[in-house]
Amino acid sequence: MRGVIMNAPGEVVVAERPDPVIVEPTDAIIRLTATCICGSDLWPYRGTEHADHAPMGHEYVGVVEEVGADVATVKPGDFVVGSFVASDNTCEICRAGYQSRCVHNVMMGGIGTQAEKARIPLADGTLVATPGQPDADLIPSLLAASDVLGTGWFAAVAAEAGPGKTVVVVGDGAVGLMGVLAARQLGAERVIAMSRHADRQALAREFGATDIVEERGDAGVAKIKELTGGLGAHSVIEAVGTQESLLQAIRSTRPGGHVGYVGVAHDGVALPADELFFAEVHLLGGPAPVRRFLPDLIRLIWDREIDPGRVFDLTLPLDRAAEGYDAMDRRTATKVLLTF
Ligand SMILES: [Zn+2]
């Protein structure tokens, strides 16, 4: 099969890879219908993370081709969506709703789903079948549920977005935009998107942002305070992962408020404990337990109540994946869909 390999930072190729086979009786093999490039794929692309002939990709939708002997909930022919972390969905951590930290978790990035086929471990706990074969126009939205929508949704839930709440979203990448959509769906009264790019501001408004703040850092915090009677927001979604954005999120939150952080933090990001002490805010974040939300997200997409697929602004065939990485690296694309 064909699949994306990152030979070294900045060097992406589409190469022949061995077809996946059932290894464990709990595995399924899927043929991908679509896959995509994640903002987190840019970390190795830019050399911030190690990359040495690594298979790439962790987002996926597709059709089950084969299942192991112990798989009971999906069968060949089913159209399925799964999380970027495989989970058994039965351990104590999973049952509490934190499937991304399942005691048996498998990061799909290690398997590499920017490929024609993929082995999905723990298929019963990981995959959710759609009610039938989806119309073609639903594929991008179902794919978004695999990570970027599920992650934005988790951030909004962690930030306790809901009726009567003012929600601030720090970060106007694909996850931040999905956070806007999620906050609105969860009933937030006001959703303030922090963005200085006209195209992303427009998309944020389409997804339900009521206000746009262009300032960042201390000036951004001051603007949020000004818009919230000097108190700060009830709920803040952080979707970047840098020191500046995390502090901006915490400082934009009122005492007693909630921060949901899903931007992947890297080495060197450290929060001052004295400031955290007096901020008196709730902090919850990490790799999103997408599996918790998948059944609801699939239903909302299937019933055409949400259209998160609009977050993809460039579609390329898999063979041109390198162009997709380049476009996201140069920020000429927000999120790239790869087709077969
Ligand atoms: Zn588990």
Torsion from C-alpha of 91, 143, 119, 155, nearest 10 degrees: -30
Nearest-angstrom CA–CA distance, 309 and 324: 17
How many whole angstroms from 121 Cα to the centroid of ligand 1?
A: 12
d(CA 96, ligand 1 centre) in Å:
9
Q: Which of 150, 142, 146 is nearest to 293 (CA)?
A: 150
For ligand 1, the distance from its centroid to the CA atom of residue 100, given in whole angstroms, is 8
* pTM higher than the cut 0.95: yes
Alpha helices in 208-313 (DSSP H): 217-227, 243-251, 273-279, 290-302
- From the CA of 263, how far away is ligand 1's center (Å)? 23
**How far is the centre of ligand 1, averaged over its atoms, from the C-alpha of 162 (Å)?**
28
The distance in angstroms from the start CA to the end CA of the chain is 11
Q: CA angle at residue 196 from 45 to 321, to 5 degrees?
A: 25
SS3 state of residue 204: helix
pLDDT single digits (tens) 142-159:
999 999 999 999 999 999
> How many angstroms does the Cα of residue 296 sit away from the middle of ligand 1?
19
pLDDT score recorded for residue 268: 85
Give yes or no for residue 267 having a pLDDT over 80. Answer: no
The ranges of the chain annotated as CATH 3.40.50.720 are: 152-285
CA of 93 to the centre of ligand 1 (A): 6
**Percent residues over pLDDT 90 in the chain:** 96
Contact 325, 173 (CB under 8 A): no
CB of 179 within 8 A of CB of 170?
no
Please give the single-letter amino acid code of residue 297.
Answer: L
Give distance in angstroms: CA of 104 to centre of ligand 1.
6
Report how far ligand 1's centroid is from the alpha carbon of 88 (Å): 4
- Residue 240: per-residue pLDDT: 94
Query: Which helix H or strand E contains 81, and what residues bound it?
Result: strand 79-82
- Ligand 1 centroid to Cα of residue 83, in Å, is 13
Identify whether the C-beta of residue 294 lies closer than 8 Å to the C-beta of residue 192: no
Ligand 1 center–CA 287 separation, angstroms:
14
Burial 176-206 (b: 16+ CB within 10 A, else e): bbbbbbbbbbbebebbbbbbeeeebbebbbe
Q: Structurally, what CATH architecture does the domain formed by 152-285 represent?
A: 3-Layer(aba) Sandwich (3.40)
pLDDT over 90 (residue 121): yes
Question: What fold is seen in the domain 2-147+289-338?
Answer: Quinone Oxidoreductase; Chain A, domain 1 (3.90.180)
Write out the two tokens for 336: 């790239």
Distance, CA 86 to ligand 1 centroid (Å)?
Answer: 9
- Write down the mean pLDDT value for the chain: 97
Q: Ligand 1 centre and the CA of 26: distance in Å?
A: 13
* Residues belonging to the chain: 340
Q: Is 318 helix (H, G, I), strand (E, B) or coil?
A: helix
pLDDT in tens, 25-41: 999 999 999 999 999 99
Output the CA 108–ligand 1 centroid distance in Å: 15
Helix (H, G, I), strand (E, B) or coil at 252: coil
- Cα(158) to centroid(ligand 1), Å: 20
Question: What residues does CATH 3.90.180.10 cover in the chain?
Answer: 2-147+289-338
Tokens of 293: 């939300």
Stretch among 23-32, 40-49, 232-241, 255-264 having the lowest mean pLDDT: 40-49
User: For residues 184 and 191, is the Cβ–Cβ distance under 8 A?
Assistant: yes
**Distance (Å) from CA 205 to ligand 1 centroid:** 37
213 close to 224: Cβ distance less than 8 angstroms: yes
* Nearest-angstrom CA–CA distance, 52 and 212: 40
- In this predicted structure, what is the pLDDT of residue 143? 98
In whole angstroms, give the CA distance from residue 59 to residue 81: 9
Confidence of residue 132 (pLDDT cuts 50, 70, 90): very high
For residue 103, report the distance from its CA to the centre of ligand 1, in Å.
Answer: 5
Using the structure block, give the residue that is written with the tokens 């962790």: 58
- Ligand 1: centre distance to CA 68 (Å): 19
